[in-house]
Chain A
Amino acid sequence: MADSEVVFRVSRYRPESGGRPTFQEYRIPYRSDMVVLDGLNYIKDHLDPTLTFRWSCRMGICGSCGADVNGRPRLTCGTYIRDMRKGAVTVEPLSNFPILKDLVVDFDDFLDKLASVRPYIVRKDWGDLSKEYTQYPEDVDAYRQQSLCINCMLCYAACPVFGASPEFVGPAASALALRYIRDTRDDGAAERLARLNTKTGIWECTFVGECSVVCPKEVDPAAAIQTLKFLATTRHMRRLLMPGSASR
């Protein structure tokens, strides 16, 4: 049973009319077990069906419900209203992305960046596909952390470098590149590092570190980028000193 009310200040952007996004306030019944996404759904179902936002799984898996909640990028399905500071809950679209409507941002650019690092197993030769490619638990441990990424893009919204230089490949794409580079079944390290070892790749990162703070899956993309810098540098040095050396 609802015991009180909470005010939601939600950013609205109407693509038909253009203009600047504006805030609209809604009062909704509050229960202590509500997450921000419940509040948005209450608004959509009972107060204003025109409010537009993305969501799907409601359990921190699909990565689609990200928004800036009280100024910080969060998954709205994983953010309890009771944990917000007292007063209104302000919900805005993720920073640093173009807005399509209300809380829905355009992430085509992110998908292109993701594709550019080939986030899948690349092999020179697939050989006998009926054979198993064995991995030991420690092989999986090497990339488990980065493999937890759900492509929610909170890290991009938190990254001021991406905000200033949108061509920066960004945290999640880098973390996923490392995930596959560390996979013992993969042969694509050279291609990925060729993309990342550039001005718009990992070297754009100045280690602000906020991507790792906001990441809901503890992927730690900031650390992944520093590791990639190290890999790219050692690789470059090896090439200089020992031409024709191993690729990994």
Chain B
Amino acid sequence: MTVHEYPARRRRVWWLRNRRYLAFQLREAGGVVCALYGLILLNMLIQLRDGESAYAAFLNLLRTPPMLYLNVVLFALVLWHALTWFMLIGKAQPIQFTREPLPWKVVFGINVLLWIGVSGAVVYLIFGGM
């Protein structure tokens, strides 16, 4: 008698099976979006090199409603990417500063505060003198 083994299959649309899978997929999408942001910024530099009118045209394009909506979505994904990684830092603590591992929420809080601090410093450096 031949016995057939049924091959292993990953479920289709597995990432819709629970909220955690979906959160993970959005975090990964956020990674791609970070790269996309990088390309937009690079393109901005190219336009800047090409002269004032090219740069102004590019800025005007960025101000059109479709680009603004797109940027809102991209920004939300980048935020999600950053926040969810901060959440994970505390869940995997290869370096322990204390005898017992710190609760992940504490590590998350410290990272968010540092993030706000560094972002504030960068904003001040760029716009502070204005």
Seen from chain A, the residues whose Cβ lies within 8 Å of a Cβ on chain B are 13, 15-16, 18, 20-21, 71-72, 95-100, 106, 160, 163-164, 166, 206-210, 212-213, 222-223, 225-227, 229-231
B8 and A209 within 8 A (CB): no
Chain B neighbourhood of A207, CB < 8 A: 88, 92
Chain A neighbourhood of B24, CB < 8 A: 206, 208-210
Across the interface, B94 reaches (CB within 8 A) one of A18, A21, A96, A227, namely A227
A15 and B3 within 8 A (CB): yes
**Pairs of residues from A and B, 8 with the lowest C-beta to C-beta distance, nearest first:** A163-B10, A226-B92, A230-B94, A99-B6, A18-B4, A15-B3, A223-B92, A227-B94
Which residue of chain A has its CB nearest to the CB of B7?
Answer: A98
Which residue of chain A has its CB nearest to the CB of B4?
Answer: A18
Chain A neighbourhood of B9, CB < 8 A: 95-96, 163
Using known A-B contacts A71-B17, A213-B20, determine if residue A230 contacts B10 with beta carbons closer than 8 Å.
Answer: no
- Nearest CB of B to A148, in Å: 16
Q: Which of B3-52 contact A (CB under 8 A)?
A: 3-11, 14-15, 17-18, 20-21, 24, 28
> Could you write out 26 A-B pairs with CB less than 8 Å apart?
A13-B6, A15-B3, A16-B1, A20-B6, A71-B18, A97-B8, A98-B7, A98-B8, A99-B5, A106-B5, A160-B10, A160-B21, A163-B9, A163-B11, A206-B28, A208-B20, A208-B21, A208-B24, A209-B20, A210-B18, A210-B21, A213-B20, A227-B94, A229-B94, A230-B95, A231-B94
Q: A96-B10, A160-B15 are in contact. List 7 more A-B contacts (CB 8 A).
A: A15-B3, A18-B4, A96-B8, A100-B5, A106-B5, A209-B88, A226-B92
Instruction: Please encode chain B, from 89 to 116, with 1 for each CB lying within 8 Å of some chain A CB and 0 for all others.
Output: 0011111000000000000000000000
